[in-house]
Amino acid sequence: MSALRARARTLAAHLRDVRAVARKLPDALVLLDRDERMRWANPAAARLLDVVWPRDRGLQAFARFGGSALAAWLRIDAPDIDDVDSPVESGVRLQLSLLPYGEHRLLIARDISRISRLEQVRRDFVANVSHELRTPLTVIHGYLELLDPEDVPTLAPVLNEMRIQSQRMRQIVEDLLELSRLEMQQRLPEECVEMAPLLRTLRTEAEALSHGRHRIVLADEADIDLLGSPNDLHSAFSNLVSNAVRYTPDGGVITIAWRRTDAGAQYAVTDTGHGIPAEHLSRLTERFYRVSSSRSRASGGTGLGLSIVKHVLNLHESDLRIDSELGKGSTFSCEFPASRLLERSVGE
C-alpha cells in the first residue's frame, strides 16, 4: 500500500513539474476537448489570447474568439497559420498551430510580432530602394540610347556593353518591384482566364525567343479555363516557358501542357535541357538563387523569375513543383484545385 502511495506521490510530483513548465512557457497553450471546450490554459494564453484560467474553463473556443480570424481558422480545421492578429491587441501578431493530443487538441499561439515587424521593414526597404533606383536608371538608359555607337566606332563595344548592363539593371529593378507588389497582396483580382488563347500566346512567345532553335509542342488537353489574375498568370506561365527555352540547348523540345488531374488541372512546362542537380531544387525559388551564375547571366535572367512565379501561384492556391533529371531535362508544373476551374461554355 505504501508503495502505491509513493508511486501516486511521484506521479503527482511529475504532473506538477509538467504544469509548472507549461506555466513558464512564453507560448500560449490551450487544451481543447472533443467539443472544442477549453480544458486548461497556461498564463501566456491570457496575455496572447485573452483565455484566462480558470475563468474560461469549459467555454467553447469558437465562442471565446467571437468573429475573429482565429475563430474562423479553428472552424475550418486548417493547417498552421502565420501572422494573425491577436484577439487581445491588434499590434500583436501570432503564429497558430493545432496539435492532436489523444482525444483532445492543443492550441499553440506564438508571439511573432518582432519577426513580422522585421519582415515588414525588409519588404519596405526593398520596395523603397527599387523605387528610388528606377528614375536614375531610366535617365542613364535614355542617354545611352541617344548615343549612336556608329558615331564613335572606337567606343562602340563599350557603349553596347553599357546598354546591355543598364537594361539588365532596369529589369532587376522592375522584377523587385513586381515581387514587392505580390508580397503585399493578400489576393489577386479574379477573372476568367481563357486558357486556349493564353496557351497559344505562350507558344508564340516561346517560338519568338527560340528563333527556331527548339521544337515547341503545345498539349492543350484540359478544355477548361482558370479563375485568377490574367496578367499575373500570363507572367508566371511565360516565365517558365522562357526558362525552358533559355536553359535548353539547340535542337531540344519544349512542351507546354494543360491537363486535367484527379484534383483539378495542371499546367506544366517540360524541356529536354541541362536539368538541375537535386540539391538545388528546394532553393530555386529563392531570390537570386542560381545553379550556375555564369550560365544564368549569359542567358539574360535576373534570378528573380521563379520567386515571382512562386508568389503568383501561391496567390492562386497552387504550388510550383520541379522535377528534373541531370542531362535529360526538367518539368516545372503547378496544379490548380477544382474550385479555380471554369468549364468552357459550348461553342467556344
Q: 95 to 124, contacts with ligand ADP by CB under 6 A?
A: none
Judged by CB under 6 A, the residue of 144, 291, 341, 342 near ligand ADP is 291
Judged by CB under 6 A, the residue of 105, 273, 333, 340 near ligand ADP is 273
DSSP-derived 3-state class of residue 107: strand
Which residue number, 263 or 326, has a Cβ lying nearer to ligand ADP? 326
Which residue number, 38 or 172, has a Cβ lying nearer to ligand ADP? 172
**Which amino acid, 246?**
R
What cell does 302 get? 535576373
Which residue number, 87 or 305, has a Cβ lying nearer to ligand ADP? 305
Tell whether residue 296 is a contact of ligand ADP (CB under 6 A): yes
Which residue number, 86 or 238, has a Cβ lying nearer to ligand ADP? 238
> Cell 499590434 appears where?
91
Which residue number, 191 or 323, has a Cβ lying nearer to ligand ADP? 323
Distances from the Cα of 142 to the Cα of 63, 134, 151, 165, 177, angstroms: 61, 12, 17, 13, 20
Judged by CB under 6 A, the residue of 86, 166, 243, 270 near ligand ADP is 243
DSSP-derived 3-state class of residue 6: helix
| Beta carbon of residue 313, minimum distance to ligand ADP (angstroms, whole number) | 13
DSSP-derived 3-state class of residue 198: helix
DSSP-derived 3-state class of residue 301: coil
Rounded to the nearest 5 degrees, what angle is found at the Cα of 61, between the Cα atoms of 59 and 67? Answer: 120
User: Of all residues in this chain, which one has the CB nearest to ligand ADP in the complex?
Assistant: 301
Site string (302-321) toward ligand ADP, x via CB under 6 A: xxxxx---------------
Which residue number, 193 or 309, has a Cβ lying nearer to ligand ADP? 309
DSSP code for 158: H
Which residues touch 232 (CB under 8 Å, ≥6 apart)?
A: 182, 188, 312, 315
DSSP-derived 3-state class of residue 73: helix
| Beta carbon of residue 196, minimum distance to ligand ADP (angstroms, whole number) | 24
Round to whole Å and give the CA distance between 25 and 4: 32
Judged by CB under 6 A, the residue of 45, 198, 206, 244 near ligand ADP is 244
Q: Are the CB atoms for 343 and 265 separated by under 8 Å?
A: no
Which residue number, 109 or 284, has a Cβ lying nearer to ligand ADP? 284
Judged by CB under 6 A, the residue of 74, 241, 284, 334 near ligand ADP is 284
End-to-end CA distance of the chain: 84
The alpha helices in 225-282, defined as continuous H runs, are: 230-246, 278-281
Which residue number, 29 or 233, has a Cβ lying nearer to ligand ADP? 233
Which residue number, 310 or 340, has a Cβ lying nearer to ligand ADP? 310
| Beta carbon of residue 237, minimum distance to ligand ADP (angstroms, whole number) | 13
Binding piece for ligand ADP, criterion CB under 6 A, among 33-41, 64-72, 208-216, 288-296? 288-296
Determine the length of the chain: 348
Q: Is the dihedral of CA 168, 173, 174, 179 positive or negative?
A: positive
Round to whole Å and give the CA distance between 170 and 302: 10
Binding piece for ligand ADP, criterion CB under 6 A, among 11-19, 127-135, 199-207, 295-303? 295-303
Residues that bind ligand ADP (CB under 6 A): 243-244, 247, 271, 273-274, 276, 284, 290-292, 296, 301-306, 330
